[in-house]
Amino acid sequence: MAFSPLVITAALVGAETTREQTPYLPISPEEIAQEARRCRDAGASMVHLHVREPDGKPSQSAELFRQTIERIRELAPDLVCQTSTGGAVGMSVDERAQPLTLEGRAKPEMATLTTGTVNFGDDVFWNPRPLVREIARRMRAAGIVPEIECFDAGMVDEAFALAKEGLLDLPAHFDFVLGVPGALAARRSAIEFLRSQLPEGSTFTVAGVGRHQLPMAELAIELGGNVRVGLEDNVYVSKGVLAKGSFELVERVVDLARAKDRQVATPDQARQILRLPARA
């Protein structure tokens, strides 16, 4: 069966990865944009973005996102920019939703929407239904397309409920985040099950966490999904060897795709595959 070209998302920063874990983590808007460019050159068509305060603290500051996205538009003009609305555990809805207020060149084309609460290591990633609905409402009002982040199986079902309430359109694009301690484990049967539950015509990406990242990428390629890799979810390119940036992980995925005869999508192909508006 011929699958569509592979959309590779690079998750460059995240909220949890630290400079103590890896010196290659980009922090400033300039560093993040330079890393985005390297990932574009390596084969990524989309970047999933978080931002950091200068001291490395996770942030959802609209101003930091504005600086970051405007610089990415200069360095890698065709990349699809997707902002987080998850932020870091413990953030309020207003804090999390700040990137949805961006306009003009800084406006993201996509943003994440996690559709349920989940254990997140020893923390709780808190997404009660009223909060999810509020973020979905703001995203829709801003004309930003959601990527539905599923850390557990019920989060797919919740997308149907949101669609019924007119808060999102189906089919949609889903991201299966697998291997977070306390949430759904990273295994083939999880991908197969989640895929079987998707609304007709939907697309999906798989983001494996930690050591599961590249094995899950390989499975996603094989099963017709798309792939997310990067330092947000994993800092190693092989056992004990730090990736020198998310770009090295993107390079690995391109090699895996080549080995499985799967083409890699350009950003404009990614827009078509993910049902995003064409670039102006």
Report in angstroms how near the CB of residue 16 gets to ligand KMH at its nearest. Answer: 6
Contact call for residue 84 and ligand KMH (CB under 6 A): yes
Task: Please pick, from the candidates 86, 108, 116, 230, the single residue that binds ligand KMH as defined by CB under 6 A.
Answer: 86
Contact call for residue 60 and Zn ion (CB under 5 A): no
Q: How many CB atoms lie within 10 A of CB 28?
A: 16
| Residues between 76 and 95 with contacts to Zn ion, criterion CB under 5 A | 84
Calpha distance 47→154 (Å, rounded)? 26
Nearer to Zn ion, 21 or 263 (CB): 21
Q: Collapse the DSSP code of 114 into the 3-class scheme (helix H, G, I; strand E, B; otherwise coil) and give the result.
A: strand
Contact call for residue 88 and ligand KMH (CB under 6 A): yes
Q: Collapse the DSSP code of 88 into the 3-class scheme (helix H, G, I; strand E, B; otherwise coil) and give the result.
A: coil
Report in angstroms how near the CB of residue 43 gets to ligand KMH at its nearest. Answer: 22
- The residue with its CB nearest to ligand KMH is 86
Determine how β-strand 241-242 pairs with β-strand 236-238: antiparallel
Calpha distance 122→120 (Å, rounded)? 6
Beta bridge partners of 150: 176
Contact call for residue 125 and ligand KMH (CB under 6 A): yes
Q: Give the rounded distance of the alpha carbon of 223 from its chain centre.
A: 19
Query: Comparing C-alpha atoms, which of 209, 193, 130, 210 is closest to residue 167?
Result: 130
Contact call for residue 112 and ligand KMH (CB under 6 A): yes
Beta bridge partners of 204: 174
Report in angstroms how near the CB of residue 261 gets to Zn ion at its nearest. Answer: 30
Could you say which of ligand KMH, Zn ion, none residue 120 binds, taking C-beta under 5 to 8 angstroms by partner kind? ligand KMH
Site string (129-158) toward ligand KMH, x via CB under 6 A? --------------------x---------
Determine contact, residues 48/228, Cβ cutoff 8 Å.
yes
Contact call for residue 85 and ligand KMH (CB under 6 A): yes
Q: Collapse the DSSP code of 229 into the 3-class scheme (helix H, G, I; strand E, B; otherwise coil) and give the result.
A: strand
**Which region among 13-21, 157-165, 182-190, 263-271 touches ligand KMH (by CB under 6 A)?**
13-21
Q: Which helix (H) or strand (E) holds 184?
A: none
Nearer to Zn ion, 34 or 84 (CB): 84
Interface with ligand KMH (CB under 6 A): 14-16, 84-86, 88-89, 112, 114, 120, 125, 149
